[in-house]
């Protein structure tokens, strides 16, 4: 869930810009019931990342072990500036990013991490994604090509939602999506957790996990422990919502995660720029504050560049409003360590989450996502 407006509801009145991407799991996952007791959840071993190289470190009272990157993975150093790219899940030319790579050569050279939504690769159809399903990406050798290009692969996945409160359902989902990519020529380097803090607390249609911050952290800890046990090469980072949660709230969240034994591999901030504009939060100061707080704890900080402005339902308006957000961030702190170009805008009249189009990168008449990558990086410096 990308902000407190992104909930199931009529379009234009709390439109489901983000949560529709996961609600298909209702009835599919072995979910816990609302208000389930999480006090029995064990505290996971510490899961962290070295900023010198991609590693997964598990720490117990008795020992510390480090697993280095498995052979063949793209070499991505989390301490370096990274550019992430996540096309909209239903974008009509998503497969063409791989079947026609000549249409985004310059942008592709800038992208370090390519992020898929779990929906796109879990192997089953879903309305808002259209034909962008696992078989489609296998047909165009998407995962193998990313590997050949030296581009790391990330998955954005839920960890706790109002309809699936316990971690095992999401661990199974992580295993499925990782295996689907890796059995088709790819390697998964990162999982980006889709706003677990808000997922543990939000109330939707009378349903809620009803978790405290500490209880949600325990769920994250168990999820992290289970996934890194099965996939030690995969690093797990966090996405959280601002200003739904204040800078002070998010700092406290990172502290609580640490107390639960979790140090995220990265911390990406999802800013509701429309709410910031209306309510007048001091987003510039809070960006600096959260970057410094994160990095003081060895957690690379990133900002998501998207448009959650309700009027940005066309490619040009999406492009322009996202560039304006990039200029705001650049004025506050320059270029963040992690720059994440990502869309979940929708639904369009087609019912899909398809804005913006991805290609080509170079036409002055096409306000594409790959053009936005190039122009956004120019703005960020």
- Nearest 5°: phi and psi at 209? -75, -30
- Residue 362: its pLDDT value, please? 96
> Cα–Cα distance between 2 and 242 in angstroms, integer?
9
> Between these two residues, 74 and 225, which has the higher pLDDT value?
225
Q: How high does pLDDT run on average in the chain?
A: 84
pLDDT at residue number 75: 64
Rounded Cα–Cα distance for residues 18 and 29 (Å): 19
Confidence at 313, pLDDT banded by 50, 70, 90: confident
Q: Is the per-residue pLDDT at 120 higher than 70?
A: yes
CA angle 133, 268, 70 (to 5 degrees): 65
* CA atoms of 134 and 35, how far apart (whole Å): 34
Is the per-residue pLDDT at 45 higher than 50?
Answer: no
Rounded Cα gap, residues 357 and 88, in angstroms: 8
- Cα separation of 102 and 93, whole Å? 14
Counting residues of the chain whose pLDDT is more than 70, the rounded percentage is 80
In the structure, what pLDDT confidence band is assigned to residue 138 with cuts at 50, 70 and 90? very high
Q: Which of 55-59, 126-130, 265-269, 333-337 has the least mean pLDDT? A: 55-59
Record the tokens describing residue 104, joined without a space. Answer: 């985004």
pLDDT higher than 90, residue 42: no
In CATH, 30-380 is 3.20.20.60: yes
Per-residue model confidence (pLDDT) at position 78: 77
- What's the pLDDT band for 206 if we cut at 50, 70, 90? very high
* CB-based contacts of 290, cutoff 8 Å, min separation 6: 242, 247, 250, 251, 267, 269, 301
Q: Give the H/E segment covering residue 118.
A: helix 118-121
* Residue with more model confidence, 173 or 33: 173
This prediction's pTM: 0.85
The first and second tokens of residue 151, run together, are 């581009």
Beta bridge partners of 342: 86
Q: Is the pLDDT of residue 39 over 50?
A: no
For position 69, what pLDDT does the model report?
Answer: 42
Q: How many degrees, rounded to 5, is the angle at CA 118 between CA 252 and CA 97?
A: 115
**Per-residue pLDDT tens over the stretch 331-358:** 999 999 999 999 999 888 889 999 999 9
Q: Of the ranges 58-67, 89-98, 309-318, which one carries the lowest mean pLDDT score?
A: 58-67
DSSP symbols for 23-84: GGGTTTS-PPPTT---TTPPPPPEEE--SSSSEEEEE-SS-EEEEEPPTTS----TTS-EEE
Cα distance between residue 73 and residue 169, in whole Å:
27
pLDDT at 66: 29
How far is it, in rounded angstroms, from Cα 21 to Cα 119? Answer: 7
Of 259, 252, 257, 286, give the one whose Cα is nearest residue 271.
Answer: 286
pLDDT at residue 74, rounded to an integer = 57
């Amino acid at each position: 869930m990308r902000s407190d407006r992104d909930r199931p509801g009529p379009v234009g009145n709390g439109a489901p810009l983000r949560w529709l991407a996961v609600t298909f799991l209702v009835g599919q996952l072995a979910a816990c019931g609302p208000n389930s007791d999480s006090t029995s959840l064990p505290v996971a071993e510490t899961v962290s990342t070295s900023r010198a190289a991609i590693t997964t470190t598990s720490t117990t009272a008795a020992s510390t072990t480090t697993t280095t990157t498995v052979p063949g993975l793209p070499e991505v150093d989390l301490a370096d500036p990274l550019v992430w790219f996540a096309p909209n899940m239903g974008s009509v030319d998503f497969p063409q990013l791989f079947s026609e790579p000549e249409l985004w050569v310059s942008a592709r050279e800038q992208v370090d991490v390519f992020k898929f939504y779990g929906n796109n690769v879990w192997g089953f159809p879903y309305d808002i994604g259209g034909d962008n399903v696992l078989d489609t990406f296998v047909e165009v050798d998407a995962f193998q090509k990313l590997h050949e290009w030296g581009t790391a692969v990330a998955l954005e996945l839920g960890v706790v939602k109002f309809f699936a409160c316990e971690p095992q359902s999401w661990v199974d989902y992580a295993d499925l999506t990782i295996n689907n990519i890796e059995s088709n020529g790819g390697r998964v380097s990162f999982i980006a957790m889709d706003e677990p803090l808000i997922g543990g607390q939000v109330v939707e249609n009378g349903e809620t996990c009803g978790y405290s911050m500490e209880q949600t952290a325990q769920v994250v800890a168990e999820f992290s422990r289970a996934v890194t046990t099965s996939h030690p090469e995969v690093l797990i980072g966090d996405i959280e919502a601002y200003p739904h949660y204040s800078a002070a709230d998010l700092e406290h969240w990172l502290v609580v995660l640490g107390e639960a034994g979790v140090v995220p591999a990265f911390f990406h901030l999802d800013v509701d720029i429309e709410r910031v504009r209306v309510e007048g939060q001091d987003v510039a100061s809070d960006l600096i504050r959260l970057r410094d707080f994160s990095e003081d704890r060895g957690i690379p900080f990133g900002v998501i560049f998207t448009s959650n402005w309700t009027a940005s339902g066309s490619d040009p308006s999406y492009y322009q409003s996202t560039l304006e957000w990039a200029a705001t961030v650049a004025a506050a702190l320059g270029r963040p360590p992690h720059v994440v170009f990502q869309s979940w805008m929708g639904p369009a009249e087609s019912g899909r989450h398809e804005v913006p189009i991805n290609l080509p990168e170079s036409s002055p008449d096409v306000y594409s996502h790959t053009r936005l990558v190039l122009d956004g990086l120019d703005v960020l410096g």
